[in-house]
Amino acid sequence: MARYFIELSYDGALFGGFQIQQNVATVQGALENAMETLFRTAIPLTGASRTDAGVHAYQNFLHFDTELEILPKHVYNLNALLPNSVVVKGIYAVPDEAHSRFDAVKRGYLYRLHQAKDPFSEGRSWFYPFPLDLSLMQIAADSLLNYTDFESFSKKKTQVNTFQCAITKANWTSVGPDIQFEIHSNRFLRGMIRGLVGTMVQVGRGQISMDEWHEIVASKDEQRVDFSTPACGLYLSQISYPDFLKKIG
């Protein structure tokens, strides 16, 4: 029995989330169906990051175990079976004990906003046609590297043993007429990035002061955080592992 990682990219707009659910179209479900069709046997998958409904990914991973021979052509075969909104970017041979979720050492996300009406950004970015002070938002983002407890930015209906996260990058940038937030950490909490973005946008609008921002981060009170930012602007951008991935082919 050998273990493999699968690297995926997907548009989450038409899915009810990443993790397999009954009676809901999911990214994991689409891939498991394609693999069962191709290999003529059910192959359970374990995902690295469980993105919510409507969230996209440039890169996500799953792992599986099989005694079947996995060949380079299977990447093409799976992509032929998958919907156009999901693409397999690679299959990797890994050590038997490697775990797509627990062995990840860093995850990165992007959140995108557009401030001018744009039909090509609809469903891919948050339309926010209000003035924002990006310099204030960056000051708030910079401060995140000084904190480790992000309980304020975690939705409470979640099973976690700790709210500790080690954020290593948090940047707001202008990308043409659009705005983008990029964040890297060893782990993230449920709802964390959308809560951070929504609350920093309030800083940029002048609706909360910098002192209030620091109070919110330290408060451990999710009621003070704005989680209402839409899923369409959020992208899982990268997952990093120790050097054990060996691409098939």
E strand or H helix at 196: helix 192-205
Residue 139 in contact with residue 204, Cβ under 8 Å? Answer: no
**For residues 57 and 235, is the Cβ–Cβ distance under 8 A?**
yes
Tell me the catalytic residues: 52
Reported as half-sphere exposure (CB side, CA atoms, 13 A), residue 216 has a value of: 23
**Residue 120 CB neighbour total at 10 angstroms:** 8
Single out the residue of 77, 79, 99 nearest to residue 88, CA to CA: 79
DSSP annotation of 54: T
